[in-house]
Homo-oligomer: A and B are copies of this chain.
Amino acid sequence: MELLQIEQAASLLLEWDRVLILCHQNPDGDTIGSGYGLCQALHQLGKRAGVLCADPLPRKMAFAAEGIVPSLWIPPEEAEYVVSTDIADCKLMGAVLDKYQKNERVDLAIDHHPSHRPFAKRLLLCSHEAANCQIIYDLLFHMKCTITPSIANCLYLGISTDTGCFRFSNTQPKTHQLAAKLMAAGADWFEINRNLFETKSRSQIALEQNALQTLRFYCGGRAAALVITQQMLQEVGATLEETEAIVNVPKSVEGVEIGATLKERPEGGFKVSVRTSEQVDASAICGVFGGGGHIRAAGCLIKQPIEEALRLLVGEFEKALSQA
């Protein structure tokens, strides 16, 4: 495996033709924005290129394909070179793309995850970048591509997704500088953010209605927990994926230092998400139950009825808060 500098990666892409770009499974805005943004840039240079992902393009990100030139689009079997974008581990391509996981079939991996596990012949890893799309922006600069409005849409999508619209702690001054440039280049940033952050499905809203009723406070208001049962999900026709936003609710209440969401699994037991303030280590709490994660966001599995699961969790919350 060869580690590349950005100029070297740009030179290779300028030499190559018939490029297949891979995105990771369950695609988010950053892998989609990287893949389609790069594909559009290659089309701009007159090269043939296509994008491949194990899962379909989410509806709210369909605009990312708008700048594609149909006559330059190639299906996977016609590819000569394979490039992966925002894929930290070849397993994240998904099982249906397993033929690209082996034998260094990927010619160039472009990634920003510090946890990247090398799988490609060549790797452009910029682990200090908040979003993979920040690397793609720099690549396009070195390739002397024009940032068209549709490329700007793709790159803005990735940057806004991975920084939670400039709120997550990974946001950098560079993130804002690029946002300014992408706005000036014609990105439809208002609609992109509205779709990403301000639109909820009716089942999500219905689920929130039910789940908020279960919010309880513990430890004198310093901890809070919320429960999502399988019955709730079935009643409103929601999937576990649609619980993503709710997970942050308990911790968002003023005075709460530990927020937990308990999601009942179809096979029983609860998947627990824990969010904490600076003073409390969420991964340590989850570690007690065999889980783990980051300091402020971690998870674990508790195979107990709800009352017992809550009792065990609150016991750990009390310990953690008495030390905080």
Q: A173-B183, A176-B180 are in contact. Are A208 and B212 (CB under 8 A)?
A: yes
What is the minimal beta-carbon distance from A131 to any residue of chain B, in angstroms? 14
Question: For this complex, into which size category does the number of interface residues on chain A fall?
Answer: 35 or more
A177 to B183 CA separation, bound complex (whole angstroms)? 11
Give A221's nearest chain B residue, CB to CB.
B202
Q: Which residues from chain B contact A199 at a C-beta distance below 8 Å?
A: 252-254
Question: Is B183 in contact with A172, judged by CB distance below 8 angstroms?
Answer: yes
Instruction: Please tell me which one of the listed residues B189, B194, B221, B249 contacts residue A171 in the complex, with CB atoms under 8 A apart.
Output: B189
> Is residue A248 contacting chain B, with contact meaning CB distance below 8 A?
yes
Q: Determine the residue in chain B with the shortest Cβ distance to A214.
A: B209
Interface check A181, CB cutoff 8 A: yes
Are B201 and A205 in contact (CB-based, < 8 A)? no
Residues of B near A212 (CB, < 8 A) are 205, 208-209, 212
Number of copies: 2
Tell me the bound Cα distance from A42 to B203 in angstroms.
Answer: 53
Task: Tell me if A1 counts as interface (CB < 8 A to partner B).
Answer: no
Interface contact A167-B184, CB-CB below 8 Å: no
Chain B nearest CB: distance from A75 CB in Å? 32
With the chains together, A176 CA to B189 CA distance in Å?
12
**Complex interface: chain B residues within 8 A of A221 (CB):** 202
A115 interfacial by beta-carbon distance below 8 Å:
no
Asked if A244 is at the interface (CB within 8 A of a chain B CB), the reply is no
Q: Write the nearest CB–CB distance from A141 to chain B, whole angstroms.
A: 17
Which residues of A, 167-211, contact B by the 8 Å Cβ criterion? 167, 169, 171-177, 179-181, 183-184, 189-190, 193-194, 197-202, 205, 208-209
A contact face: mostly helix, strand, loop, or mixed: helix
A205: nearest chain-B partner, CB-CB: B253
Q: Assess whether B213 is in contact with A209, with CB atoms less than 8 Å apart.
A: yes
Expressed in whole angstroms, the Cα–Cα distance for A215 and B215 within the complex equals 19
Distance to closest chain B CB from A236 (angstroms): 12
The answer to whether B166 and A166 have CB atoms under 8 Å apart is yes
The contact string, 1 if C-beta is below 8 Å from chain B, for chain A 103-116, is 00000000000000
Task: Indicate whether A255 reaches chain B with its CB closer than 8 angstroms.
Answer: yes
Partner of A176, one of B179, B194, B208: B179
Alpha-carbon distance between A32 and B199 when the two chains are bound, in angstroms: 30
A165 located at the interface, meaning its Cβ lies under 8 Å from any Cβ of chain B in the complex = yes
Do A200 and B167 contact each other (CB < 8 Å), given the known contacts A173-B181, A209-B215? no
* 8 Å CB interface, A253-301 against B: 253-255
Which residues of B lie under 8 Å from residue A209 when comparing CB positions? 212-213, 215
B248 pairs with A198, CB closer than 8 A: yes
